[in-house]
Amino acid sequence: SGAQRLASGTLSADPSVSAAGSNIDVFWNSGGELWHGALSAGAWSGASPLGTEAVAGNPSVVALAPGSVIVNAREPSGLMASSLYTSASGLVGPEGLGATAYSDPSSVVFAGGGAIDVVWRSSSNTLWVAQACPGCAAPAIPVFSPAA
- What is the tens place of the pLDDT at every residue in 78-113? 888 888 888 888 888 888 888 888 888 876 666 666
Looking at residue 28, what is its pLDDT?
A: 92
Q: CA 73, CA 34: separation in Å to the nearest integer?
A: 9
The stretch 10-22 carries a mean pLDDT of: 85
Q: CA 107, CA 119: separation in Å to the nearest integer?
A: 6
Sequence-separated (6 or more) residues with CB below 8 Å from residue 12: 28, 29, 30, 31, 32
Q: CA 146, CA 11: separation in Å to the nearest integer?
A: 34
CB 40 within 8 A of CB 26: no
Express each pLDDT in 52-76 by its tens digit.
778 998 999 988 878 888 899 999 9
Looking at residue 49, what is its pLDDT?
A: 92
